[in-house]
A and B are shown apart, each in its own frame.
Chain A
Amino acid sequence: MPRVKIDRHSMAEQDAAVRVGNFQEVPFGYDAEQAMAEASRCLQCKTPTCMDGCPVEVDIRSFLLAVEAGKFADAIGIIKNTNGLPAICGRVCPQETQCEEQCLLGKKKRPVAIGNLERFLADWERGQNGSNGDAKSAPAARNGHRIAIVGSGPAGLTCAADLARMGYDVTIFEAFHKAGGVLIYGIPEFRLPKSIVQAEVDYVASMGVEFRYNHVIGKLDTVDELLEQGYSAVFVGTGAGLPYFMGLPGENAIGIYSANEYLTRSNLMRAYDFPNADTPVLRGDRVAVIGGGNVAMDAARTALRLGSREVSLVYRRSREEMPARNEEIHHAEQEGVRFEYLCAPTRFESDENGWARGMTCVRMQLGEPDDSGRRRPVVIEGSEFFLPADVIVVAIGNGPNPLIAQTTADIATTKRGTIRADKFGRTSKKGVYAGGDIVLGAATVILAMGAGKSAARAIDRDLRGIPDPVEDEPAATA
């Protein structure tokens, strides 16, 4: 059959009615046969455009060719030349707006399922040897420079892995007791199993990267103190860990969570397994989640799995403007999340003991486009109504964590509190680099990884006294 006639292979997944009762991963992934068949859809373009959409420059055409031939070890090797976290990227990257958006096949038909294939390969490799390690990760000869990485999220892990590969001695400082940052505390098990994150972290560790846990930089040591201790460079990847609230009356009632807290309790602290795990999370009968991003979907779907009877997702625009990935919205719909589009809370209501009991909302209609290019929601007068909820999760976004900026006098920040960095991650302070959400504001895993990669190269060039390339690197901090 000609390649273009083959339909895109979808992954089998847990039935929605079953999966709301567990935290296990939703899609089952491809088997080898499906993977080879899907890879065979690739047109092997002479000048492939898919790679242009990949912030970490995976050689997509080559790895697809290897998969088609059943050479899975070669294929994962090709990915890992530039991407140390394929099992994660294959699951949480928004491929539809990255590599797959650029796929030529997508002009006429559905694009090659690049993300699903990346996921397949990472899982295949883990199945082969129980880890994500391979010969290509063998570190180069040590060059004697020590590098400090602050934060073990996607930016930090990527920067660390690349630097270790170049021969640097890398130490990652992590505030929590587990590595992975948002991959661990933020993204739920049903979307990204913790065992997979752990395998990727183990892989980075196998390259000689040292992890120091419970180590809050800015408090225990400042960035300046790290430099004084002999680190040749410091990479700051502290993420967007400052939850935004709405500033509405009644917001501090019991049962009103930031998505960060709600998800951290459930994911990192395993509150879903309470009382086997000691950390509780309030399991509302009726839960309302405010927001329209992936984090809001994660919170709403977590609420269902925690046993809530009715979960509403309140978003002030329409489905079209929702920033969440289509797949996540679709999964949430299948699982029974009630979507309240064009709806915004105006005040939170609580009982006399301070427990949330719902919120007053207004209906919206879409007006002219605003700065974001999306149509601005406008309140419909007289449309107030009461939405009952005993747990409310505010998932309207996060700002940059302020600890580093507060404790590093000579690091320039923006009005929004993000750290200023050039496109290679250099900050205003010599020897200090930054990337990921602390620079970008809340963005995606893959952009953070791109920034980590870019900064690793800049650190290497600066320490070796090599000028920046004339050609632009993939813009990590655009």
Chain B
Amino acid sequence: MVTASRADLPGATPGPGPAGTIIETEALVPGLIHRMRFVAPAIARKRRAGQFILLRVDADGERIPLTIADADPNEGTLTIVWQVVGLTTSKLAQLRAGDRLLDVAGPLGLPTHIEPWGRVACVCGGIGTAPMYPIAQALRAAGNEVDTIIGARTKDLLILGGEMAQASDRVLFCTDDGSLGYHGFVSGLLDERIAAGERYGHVFAIGPVPMMKATVAVAKKHGIAATVSLNPVMVDGTGMCGGCRVTVNAETKFCCVDGPEFDGWGVDFDELQKRLASYREYERRALEAHDCRIGLGGR
């Protein structure tokens, strides 16, 4: 019999509703950055730091990858955080508690490689703070001392400061406009701290591509290995389509099965940045067509 069963397995803790059911939603930055918790017991039990899911909002929808920001295996729920950039992320932002995601597949990708490095810098830019949260937790659980640097354009766009404070030994904020914390980029603050004598055994950087590129450059300058989590265009997430290919140390890698985390020193960030623009024009058209259909035309 065809069943609607998705992530629910025999023996899985019954969650509050079938897999995909949304428990709560929250706007971290209204209209821009959202957080959602939903039922996915099997994935919640299995996932490890650094892994992601692919989800589909509705029957016409795209499959989009989102890093798992948090999971509660007892409750059987996952948390995702996303920024509205196109049609799918905007549809996702319109969902409310009780609604149901159509498809959730995961956990995908390789878990974060963690070693006892001693002291580690977790450098996050914008929405990158969300995927960094489970990594910081895992780093700490492995005995590392975690310094987190969170950056945003301005203080209103800075997210998950409280959560990261819980998961880290020290949290430092940066804003481009100086409205909170260090006035400047996260890479600049990292550079200053290392120059001032802070010793990091490893650097993690997650955020917009230029931010990761700049942060890795700083780490490399000081001879510190750096791990980045990449977010290329992706369709299937199981190594089948090759859409998410990235160049790392002059080799082509599939981000979905070889990543999403890579040796930052070797990543071709410029190529990644270009490939991220692949569907920009289509995304604009999709949003316009969607607004037309739901009667918001003429803007």
Interface residues of A (CB under 8 A from B): 175-177, 185, 201-202, 205, 208-216, 219-221, 229, 241-243, 245, 247, 251-252, 254-255, 257-258, 260-261, 264-265, 269-270, 274-280, 282, 353-354, 401-403
Tell me whether A275 and B1 are in contact (CB under 8 A): no
B102 within 8 A of A: yes
Partner of A252, one of B63, B237, B275: B275
Tell me whether A245 and B242 are in contact (CB under 8 A): yes
6 additional contacts (CB under 8 A) given A213-B103, A220-B107, A278-B61: A177-B103, A201-B2, A221-B46, A260-B240, A278-B60, A401-B239
Question: In terms of DSSP, what is the predominant structure of the interface of chain A?
Answer: loop
Tell me whether A254 and B1 are in contact (CB under 8 A): no
Partner of B241, one of A221, A258, A274, A402: A258
Number of B residues near A (Cβ < 8 Å) is 53
Task: Tell which of B65-73, B143-151, B200-208, B285-293 binds the partner.
Answer: B285-293
Quick one: given A264-B235, A401-B238, are A219 and B290 in contact (CB under 8 Å)? no
Quick one: given A220-B42, A252-B245, are A177 and B1 in contact (CB under 8 Å)? no
| A-chain residues with CB within 8 Å of residue B153 when the two chains form the complex | none
B22 within 8 A of A: no
CB contacts under 8 Å to A, within B211-246, are: 235-243, 245-246
Tell me whether A252 and B271 are in contact (CB under 8 A): yes
Quick one: given A214-B105, A280-B279, are A264 and B240 in contact (CB under 8 Å)? yes
A247 CA / B251 CA spacing, docked (Å): 9
- 27 residue pairs from A and B, CB less than 8 Å apart: A176-B105, A201-B2, A205-B1, A209-B1, A210-B2, A211-B3, A212-B5, A214-B105, A219-B46, A219-B238, A220-B106, A221-B46, A242-B239, A245-B245, A251-B252, A254-B278, A260-B240, A260-B242, A261-B243, A264-B241, A276-B289, A277-B60, A278-B87, A279-B61, A280-B286, A402-B257, A403-B239
A201 CA / B2 CA spacing, docked (Å): 9
Closest to A279 in B: B62
| A-chain residues with CB within 8 Å of residue B105 when the two chains form the complex | 175-177, 214-216
| A-chain residues with CB within 8 Å of residue B62 when the two chains form the complex | 269, 278-279
Quick one: given A242-B240, A278-B60, are A216 and B3 in contact (CB under 8 Å)? no
| B-chain residues with CB within 8 Å of residue A254 when the two chains form the complex | 274-275, 277-278
Tell me whether A216 and B106 are in contact (CB under 8 A): yes
Quick one: given A254-B278, A269-B235, are A214 and B6 in contact (CB under 8 Å)? yes
A254 CA / B232 CA spacing, docked (Å): 12
B10 within 8 A of A: yes
Closest to A201 in B: B2
B56 within 8 A of A: yes
| B-chain residues with CB within 8 Å of residue A278 when the two chains form the complex | 60-62, 87-88, 286
B120 within 8 A of A: no
Tell me whether B252 and A252 are in contact (CB under 8 A): yes
Tell me whether A177 and B102 are in contact (CB under 8 A): yes
Chain B nearest CB, measured from A232 CB (Å): 15
Quick one: given A210-B3, A214-B7, A403-B257, are A261 and B60 in contact (CB under 8 Å)? no
B164 within 8 A of A: no
Tell me whether A353 and B274 are in contact (CB under 8 A): yes
| B-chain residues with CB within 8 Å of residue A176 when the two chains form the complex | 105, 236
| A-chain residues with CB within 8 Å of residue B60 when the two chains form the complex | 270, 276-278
Chain A nearest CB, measured from B209 CB (Å): 13
CB contacts under 8 Å to A, within B257-297, are: 257, 271, 274-275, 277-279, 282-283, 285-286, 289-290
Tell me whether A275 and B243 are in contact (CB under 8 A): no
Closest to B104 in A: A214
Tell me whether A274 and B282 are in contact (CB under 8 A): yes
Q: Which 9 residue pairs are nearest across A and B when measured between Cβ atoms?
A: A354-B274, A280-B282, A261-B241, A214-B105, A275-B289, A241-B240, A258-B242, A243-B242, A177-B103
